[in-house]
C-alpha cells in the first residue's frame, strides 16, 4: 500500500516538473526570439480567428448580432430582437396618430404565433404611453387594443391570442 502511494506521488511530482519545464522552455524561446526587438511577435497579415465583429462591434463567432431596437449586441436564442415587427407597428401607430417615425417608440414584450403585445409611446424614449395588442393578418398587422384602460378579454381571447401574449392584460 505504501509503495503505491509513493509511486502515485512520484508520478505527480514528475508531471509537475515536466509541465513547469515546458512552460519555462517556452518562455525562454520567446525571450530569445525577441532578444533584438522591443515588440512582441505578432502576425498582422492574419485576421484574428473568431474575433470578427460586425459594424456595431458585435462578436460574430460568439453568435452576437446587433439589435437596433434594443441598441445592443445580443444572441437571438437568449434574448429576442423584434426589429422588423417593431418597425412595422411603428409605421401603423405613427400614421394613426400623425406622428413621425422618429417620435414613435414601439417595444414588443411578447410575440407568439403572429400575436404581439407591448408598449407604444411618442416623443423621447421613456415618455408616457400605453399598451397594445396586435396580430398579423394576411401579412399585415392589425391592432386590436391600444391604450391604458381595461381590455375586453373575452373578445381578445376569441381572436386567438395565446396566454403568453396576454400576460398583464388578461391575468
Q: Is the pLDDT of residue 58 over 50?
A: yes
User: What per-residue confidence (pLDDT) applies to 88?
Assistant: 92
Q: CB 143: neighbour CB atoms within 10 A?
A: 15
Report yes or no on whether pTM surpasses 0.85.
no
Q: What is the mean pLDDT of the segment spanning 30-56?
A: 60
User: What per-residue confidence (pLDDT) applies to 80?
Assistant: 75
Q: Is the pLDDT of residue 66 over 70?
A: yes
Report the percent of the chain where pLDDT is more than 70: 71
User: What per-residue confidence (pLDDT) applies to 162?
Assistant: 96
pLDDT tens column, 2-24: 555 555 555 545 445 545 444 44
pLDDT tens column, 71-124: 889 888 887 777 889 999 999 999 999 999 999 999 999 999 999 999 999 998
User: What per-residue confidence (pLDDT) applies to 141?
Assistant: 94
Amino acid at each position: 500500500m505504501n509503495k503505491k502511494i509513493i509511486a502515485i506521488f512520484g508520478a505527480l511530482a514528475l508531471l509537475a516538473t515536466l509541465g513547469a519545464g515546458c512552460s519555462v522552455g517556452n518562455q525562454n524561446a520567446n525571450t530569445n526570439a525577441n532578444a533584438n526587438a522591443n515588440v512582441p511577435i505578432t502576425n498582422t497579415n492574419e485576421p484574428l480567428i473568431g474575433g470578427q465583429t460586425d459594424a456595431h462591434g458585435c462578436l460574430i463567432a460568439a453568435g452576437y448580432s446587433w439589435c437596433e431596437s434594443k441598441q445592443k449586441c445580443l444572441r437571438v436564442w437568449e434574448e429576442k430582437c423584434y426589429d422588423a415587427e417593431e418597425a412595422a407597428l411603428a409605421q401603423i401607430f405613427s400614421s394613426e396618430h400623425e406622428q413621425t417615425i422618429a417620435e414613435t417608440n414601439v417595444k414588443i414584450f411578447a410575440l407568439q404565433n403572429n400575436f404581439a403585445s407591448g408598449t407604444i409611446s411618442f416623443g423621447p424614449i421613456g415618455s408616457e404611453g400605453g399598451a397594445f395588442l396586435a396580430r398579423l393578418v394576411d401579412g399585415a398587422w392589425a391592432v386590436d387594443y391600444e391604450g391604458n384602460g381595461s381590455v375586453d378579454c373575452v373578445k381578445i381571447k376569441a381572436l386567438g391570442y395565446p396566454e403568453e401574449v396576454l400576460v398583464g392584460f388578461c391575468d
